[in-house]
Structure 1
Amino acid sequence: MTKLAWRRTWFQIHKWIGLILAILIIPLSLSGAALVWHDTLDRIVNPARYQISGTSQRTPDVYADAARAALRPGERIAQLGLPEGHGPITLAAAPASADPGRRGPPPRTMIYLDPPTARVLDVAGSQAGLVRFLHILHGSLQIPGLGRTIVGWIGVAMLLSSMTGLWLWWPTVGSWSRGLRWRRHRNTDSNLHHMIGFWMALPLFVLSLTGVWISFPGVFGGGRGGPDRGGQRSVPLAEPGQPLDLVVARAASVRRGALRSIAWPTSASADWTVTYANGQVVKVADDNGVAVAAPARRPGGLARTMRRLHDGGGMGIVWQIVIFLGGIAPAVLAVTGIIMWWRAREWRSKAASARGGRTATR
């Protein structure tokens, strides 16, 4: 196959990926760009839960008692989280029974408390709100079950699109530096498409690759092949055998550090799980109160790196800006690509009419 034939082939692949998937790529990319600033966005749309009066904290049992007053009948506390700095105390409550036919994680009620006073700041469903909507949209396009797989294959298509786009960007005449010129074409949308496509090619490739990895963890060995159904379907015990203050004291006799979270015993695991800021974990048996140090939770490895590259968590402001722009770029490329395709259709239609007119006059 000649170089020209290859170029035509790559052009068709690139064009139809953009045209067919544009309606999915645009919401996927814009939601990902917004989620780079997840914490800031949450503070903007949910200001009430961040209106705390200070950072001093009370004992966990005080927060648990305050949260119970905000629970609906039948709900049970599943987990308590304590912030590292300026933020609310969070408690998650689960219903007394799980829906076996439900796909995805079970719904929970989130209670936000003021650290110094234990005053309830906000109560919201775990699946409710703009930020959560964006998370589900970005991760599964709001499609239960198959959504994550669809997003993964869109990532594969975007990988191919970024590679073919770079091939098509390369000038056919002269050196590669000609491609850096702004006015390669007379239309602004075409110039935008080529310039954004070039400068965002590497971030797009990284975002697409990491997105595919996250969507198919079992394929790449980056995590379990599927969700832990047993853990999702378990429910917190109605009446744990050990009081919360004793659990905290028993855990502190084994490990030292700032508390970060406490998970209640469930129908699947009759242990309390106490986690500290340094990643150390203590399991406290609910029947006899025996505390045992468990392996530390130190997220790492390739899977963790892929996720950090994808969402920018802990990667610094420079990379966050890069992937924010990389998130906006596919939407801009999709729109400009559609405009270019439509203009080309009109040009071909006019050219065909002109040829037909000349033929009729002969």
Structure 2
Amino acid sequence: MTFRKTIFWLHLISGCVAGVIVLIMSVTGVLLTYERQTIDWFDRGLRAPQQPGRPRMPLEALLAAQPAAPTTVTLRAEPGEPVMLTYGREGTVYVDAYTGATLGKGHTGVRKFFQSMTSWHRWLGQEGPGRQTARAITGACNLAFLFLLMSGLVLWWPRRWTAASLRAVTWFNGQATGKARDFNWHNVIGFWSLAPLLLVVASGVVMSYPWANALLYRMTGSELPVQGAGGGSGGGPPRGEGRGPRGEERRPAAPSYEGLDLLVENAKRQDPEWRVLSFRPAGPRRAPLAFTLDRAERGRPDLRTTVTLDRESGEAVKLERFSDQSAGRRLRTWVRWVHTGEAGGVTGQTVAGLVSLGGVFLVYTGVALSLRRLAAWRRRRGRQADVVETAKADRLG
């Protein structure tokens, strides 16, 4: 068996094994493309700037007046922007920064839809203990998808570099039907989607496997951070939140708002150009409080500063800018945003969504070609059986 034929059969088998899961991840990837923009659009009435006309209400009093402690508090620099209070999976509430009046709750249905799509994308919709098994399956299939993309390039490579052969695998043939059409679509979509899909899928592998994450650090000659010390996963639930060992919901610790306004003002001074400031108020009364200041909405970790302040003195205990991180940590921080395309803004999101749609067609055409191959093989076997039976009959006659 030649090298190319070996790659072909490995490609076909991997596609048949991982195809359904890759299809689910691709479809949900398409649906998650404009998650942030969609949520903002549905919440646009609640996020409309309020008329200032008076000093901002002290944040300590504003939060103390809330019926429940939020998991995350988000402030925006633009005058009149409301305070956004996030309550984990329970939703988001917008509060007038000047009066403390509740403006309304974010669109719950839209958020639940995207939470469901994220759950299917990462864990095949599983909850509780089943997530660990589902995550292992999606991780393995994502790794198989990476192999499919790289082996697909080998199979796509024209045997002869002529204008006709190159056009056949890089441009759609509107006249083709049946097997020829599926083959043409598979090659053309694979060619135009390959580079961005490699980024999307490879970043998914880094987030799925500790060895891939460690490899990222070793490639840059950086020391791998201690798990739990920050910078490992670049995500996860807020501190004190999440699920316990039996899958039950854990509530954040009761927060202390004493001296919070002074802490917020001190945090703002760390980056005068901040646009979005967020923090998680949960934690022991005297524990340091971490603030994140962003110069952009999302997707630009290089424009983010994190400062941890002592609650009693208000002094900075730790200040971390993107430039202060190791090369491995900086690269790892980009991974999550490369995966969603948000590292490239709306254009990057659009490209990520389009290549995810390309992944849907790659699975469809790949399965169609496999079924056609199987049907052709069964027909050949049938004809061979007929020839054998005819030969037997001739001998007996």
TM-score with structure 2 setting the length: 0.71
Farther-moved stretch of structure 1 (241-250 vs 225-234): 225-234
| Of 269, 277, 301, the match for 1:260 | 277
Partner of residue 98, structure 1: none
Partner of residue 61, structure 1: 60
Say yes or no: does 1:240 pair with 2:256.
yes
Say yes or no: does 1:82 pair with 2:75.
yes
Change (3 A) 1:157 1:334: same
Structure 1 contact 14–164 (Cα < 8 Å) conserved: yes
Tell me how many residue pairs correspond in the alignment. Answer: 338
Change (3 A) 1:350 1:116: farther
Structure 1 contact 28–137 (Cα < 8 Å) conserved: yes
| Of 22, 32, 46, the match for 1:35 | 32
Structure 2: gaps of 5 or more residues? 218-230, 242-249, 296-303, 324-328, 392-397
Structure 1 contact 77–92 (Cα < 8 Å) conserved: yes
* Partners of 2:81 and 2:109 in 1: CA distance: 18
> Secondary structure at 1:160's aligned position in 2?
helix
* Partners of 1:269 and 1:239 in 2: CA distance: 10
**C-alpha deviation, 1:14, in angstroms:** 1.0
| Of 148, 157, 169, the match for 1:161 | 148
% identical equivalent positions: 22
Change (3 A) 1:77 1:308: closer
Change (3 A) 1:323 1:225: closer
| Of 350, 354, 358, the match for 1:321 | 350
Change (3 A) 1:180 1:115: farther
| Of 306, 319, 323, the match for 1:295 | 319
* Partners of 1:269 and 1:127 in 2: CA distance: 37
> What are the within-5 Å matches in structure 2 for residues 180-219 of structure 1?
180-181=167-168, 182-183=172-173, 186-187=177-178, 188-217=181-210, 218-219=213-214
**C-alpha deviation, 1:332, in angstroms:** 0.9
Say yes or no: does 1:310 pair with 2:304.
no
Moved over 6 A (4+): 124-127, 225-230, 252-255
Partner of residue 110, structure 1: 92
| Of 270, 278, 291, the match for 2:287 | 270
Structure 1 contact 126–132 (Cα < 8 Å) conserved: no
> Secondary structure at 1:315's aligned position in 2?
helix
- Deviation sequence 1:250-293 (CA, Å, 0-9, x none): 6568875656123325149722334444645554444x344335
Structure 1: gaps of 5 or more residues? 95-106
> Secondary structure at 1:273's aligned position in 2?
strand
> Secondary structure at 1:77's aligned position in 2?
coil
Partner of residue 130, structure 1: 113
Structure 1 contact 207–309 (Cα < 8 Å) conserved: yes
Farther-moved stretch of structure 1 (150-159 vs 294-303): 294-303
Say yes or no: does 1:341 pair with 2:370.
yes
Change (3 A) 1:122 1:334: same
Structure 1 contact 88–114 (Cα < 8 Å) conserved: yes
**C-alpha deviation, 1:248, in angstroms:** 3.6
Structure 1 contact 78–264 (Cα < 8 Å) conserved: yes
Structure 2 contact 290–308 (Cα < 8 Å) conserved: yes
Say yes or no: does 1:351 pair with 2:380.
yes
Change (3 A) 1:339 1:254: closer
* Partners of 2:335 and 2:255 in 1: CA distance: 40
**C-alpha deviation, 1:198, in angstroms:** 1.9
- Deviation sequence 1:38-85 (CA, Å, 0-9, x none): 2123245xx24653331667342354245x13x3xxxx3333111356
| Of 225, 232, 246, the match for 1:224 | 232
Structure 2 contact 28–118 (Cα < 8 Å) conserved: yes
**C-alpha deviation, 1:108, in angstroms:** 5.8
TM-score with structure 1 setting the length: 0.76
Change (3 A) 1:189 1:134: same
Change (3 A) 1:360 1:146: closer
Partner of residue 10, structure 1: 7
Structure 1 contact 254–292 (Cα < 8 Å) conserved: no
